[in-house]
Structure 1
Amino acid sequence: MDILGLSLIILLVLFGIGSIENRISRQDKRVARVEHKLDLILDHLGLREPEPWSDEVGALLRDGRKIEAIKVYREATGAGLKEAKEAVEKIDPAS
């Protein structure tokens, strides 16, 4: 009986953790969509403030260090790999 009870508790904890991770993932995606929409609005209005990381990313791109620039962008923004690569390529169209 003890093993069954312990197994049940472990399953409930694991299920709870998975549920929390799922909710966090959904919230992260929702925030990313809102940020993207805000960026589109700012671009449309011609309002763009340089990001604090943009100088470092620009310097890395000028030195031909695109992969490191993507890494810096990801760390600064929390973007995924694909999104970061696309954003860095927009910064440096020669890529």
Structure 2
Amino acid sequence: MDRIVIRIVKPITFALIAFISSYYLFGSLFISGVLSLIPLLLGWVGVLEAFSYTIAALIFIAAVVWAVVPVETKNFVRQQSDAFTNELTAAVPETKKPD
């Protein structure tokens, strides 16, 4: 009975950790949901459990590291990513539909 409970609860716990951590990092429910499905589904199936739990742990560690980064650094990273996004958007040619 204990093995069954552990096989059900452990993937749910890791999926919850991955969801909360990735939501803190990305702020998107969709991305968080997709990332949390990795440890949940692979843990329930019993395939690549160590890989899926490693992904959840790395997301958690990244969220903890990002939480202790100073605000000035976060603002700098945000400005740089916005500038990079604008540069990529400007470099992509516009496609027009044929009439």
Q: Same fold (TM over 0.5)?
A: no
Q: Which has the larger radius of gyration?
A: 1
- After TM superposition, the score normalised by the length of structure 2 is 0.28
- After TM superposition, the score normalised by the length of structure 1 is 0.29
